[in-house]
Amino acid sequence: MVLAATLCFAGCEESGANEEDTDSAGSTSSAETSGTAPTTDPMPTGPTDCIAGQETCVCLEGNCIGTLQCVHDVCVPGPEIDVPDDPIRVIAGPRVPLDSEILADDFSWAQTGGPDANATGLDTQSPLIDVPADASGGDVLTFTLTAVRNEVERTAEVTIEVVGVRFQEALPGIEDTEQLGTPATVNFRGGELWATMEEGFVSWFDINFDDDLGEDVAVHMGRLDIPGAPYGARHGQVPERDDDIDVLLIANSANQTLESMQINGGAIEVLSDETVDGQPLGAVRHLARIDDEIYMTNGEGGQLLVWDPSPPEPDDGGSTGGEEPIPAGTRVLLSDLTAPGAVINGPEDGFLFLGVAGQVLRVPILEGGVIGDPMVYLDFGDAADPLDSVDAMIFDRANNLYVGVGGNDRLILARYNGGNPLEVTREMAADEADYSDFAGFRFGDGDFGGGSLFYGNASGRVGRVFVGLGD
């Protein structure tokens, strides 16, 4: 980040010229510039042992050393400001923080250009800007920071550039179906994209620049087989184990199992294949690890399940006629749901977010291995129509919620509103069929770019769409 600052003084003498500090694009620096200072009604000079021109000392013929400013014949520091230098590029609709660092006696922000935007926290270091959902690609919103310290005033500008929505190919150049089948879920590990295929394997890819083509192309880096029809997958470790072995946690719909696959070697272990009541898990497709439990959805059976390898013991252990202990294993938490799909954690501890037909539910996770009553957090469609099921869902770092509705090729954006129900901010139609069937959103990593959403696709491709803010 680099700051372009403007100094403003009334009735000041010219000070010595100090050039503005600048860094290369994308770096950060605290802005320091020179300015002028009042000479009327001088204050007492600094300590007698001061060196003229240094901080808190008398000015040296009206000048000060470095970026200090001469105010009432005393050298003082002005505001220190660190704000984004490059434009913040986002699609229309999200809430965007203007992250900054400010050392000043007083400061404030104001919008000074572009379409009117709702803003909160204009007296804070990181105000939140609601980019209008109807803004057009190419629109630029400008916000000016004014900061004062020791009577020295500086200003800086931050811009938000609106870009259009484009659904694109994420793995250009990959055509071999032994490398890329039907990707159901994507993940990132070490800057590489891992795609889990319903045909029964996982492949991982990198991105390189091809000098001959003059563009980026994907490179297949490896493959491991996963018998069955793996769908939901997450990198991590098996909960409640101390072996520190990196695995891919897998919801395998064909095998009706929760599995783990070791990243090194590909050894597969079945973690659960039935509930504590002896019933099959069903065609589990989505999963999320939250704390030390793994939550799964069985869309065909209409269930939300949890695999809990070590549930908490009740205080009395069940021995005094009180609460019975919860058995280890997989339990059914919710039933009779319509097309339950993506399940994720979110901005709030103690809650999970579950996509069902036409809705996103906010579900409290209570102590003792149980859940509370779900609430409808976002209502966007027909709660009885499986085509309105949610197969992709994610929050970005500013807590904007993205919902992928694969059945009718819609990307939905909603701004976080704490525990209150959300409203749809924007709906985007994916009009490019090869990249419209959303499955398993992840933000990019490494050369894949953190401002883009990546997702699996029933067409046999991996899609991406730039939204601006990552996780």
Contact 360, 312 (CB under 8 A): no
Per DSSP bridges, beta strands 392-395 and 375-379 are unpaired
Going across the sheet that includes 257-262, the strands are 230-236, 247-252, 257-262, 268-272
How many whole angstroms from its chain centre is CA 172? 24
> For residue 432, what are the contacts with CB-CB under 8 A and spacing of at least 6?
167, 168
Please give the model's pTM, rounded to 2 decimal places. Answer: 0.86
Cα three-residue angle 283-349-416, rounded to 5 degrees:
90
Confidence (pLDDT) at 19: 37
* HSE-up (13 A, CA, CB side) for residue 206: 7
CA dist 70 and 93 (Å) reads 45
Per DSSP bridges, beta strands 167-169 and 462-466 are antiparallel
13 band by pLDDT with thresholds 50, 70 and 90: very low
Is the pLDDT score of 454 beyond 70? yes
Q: pLDDT tens for residues 94-120? A: 999 999 999 999 999 999 999 999 999
Structural domain boundaries of the chain?
Answer: 6-163, 167-466
Fold type of domain 167-466: Neuraminidase (2.120.10)
Which whole number is the average pLDDT over 404-414? Answer: 90
Question: Minimal CA–CA distance to 401: which of 419, 420, 425?
Answer: 425
Confidence (pLDDT) at 5: 38
User: Is CATH 3.30.470.20 what the domain over 6-163 is classified as, yes or no?
Assistant: no
131 vs 173, higher pLDDT: 131
Q: pLDDT tens for residues 81-101? A: 999 999 999 999 999 999 999
Q: How many other C-beta atoms can be found within 10 angstroms of the C-beta atom of residue 439?
A: 27
* Helix (H/G/I), strand (E/B), else coil: 148: strand
Q: Do domains 6-163 and 167-466 have the same CATH topology?
A: no
Which whole number is the average pLDDT over 255-284? Answer: 96
Confidence (pLDDT) at 2: 38
- HEC secondary structure over 225-270: ECCCCEEEEEEECCCCCCCCCCEEEEEECCCCEEEEEECCCCCEEE
* HSE-up (13 A, CA, CB side) for residue 193: 38
Q: pLDDT tens for residues 32-48? A: 333 444 444 444 444 55
Which whole number is the average pLDDT over 213-241? Answer: 92
Q: What is the mean pLDDT of the chain?
A: 87
Q: pLDDT tens for residues 241-260? A: 888 899 999 999 999 999 99
